[in-house]
Amino acid sequence: MRQTAEWMTPSDDRILELLREYGNLTPRAVEDFGGPSMGHAQDRLPLLTKYGLVTRLSRGLYAISDDGLAYLDEELDASTLESVDDE
């Protein structure tokens, strides 16, 4: 069973699964591939990036990180992740 963090929502798992399946995606592509709405994905992707589960490749383009893959594979407890401020 995946170990989520308090800041996570159920849609975060779906976003991460889509990134693993399809590769680099925009929020619009997340919606197009059956994930949450573009607006919701736009809100969630920066937060997933902040905690290291996703990497921002360029403006509006995201990829799953090694930690994101480990989380999906139940090898990482997301509650142990710390916020990274790279701005």
Q: DSSP string covering 6-50, please?
A: TT--HHHHHHHHHHHHH-SB-HHHHHHTTSS-HHHHHHHHHHHHH
The answer to whether residues 16 and 78 touch, using CB atoms and an 8 Å cutoff, is: no
> Is 86 a residue whose pLDDT tops 70?
no
Q: What global pTM score does this model have?
A: 0.94
pLDDT grade, residue 62 (50/70/90)?
Answer: very high
Of 15-19, 49-53, 80-84, least confident by mean pLDDT is 80-84
Domain positions in the chain: 10-77
| 10-77 carries CATH number 1.10.10.10 | yes
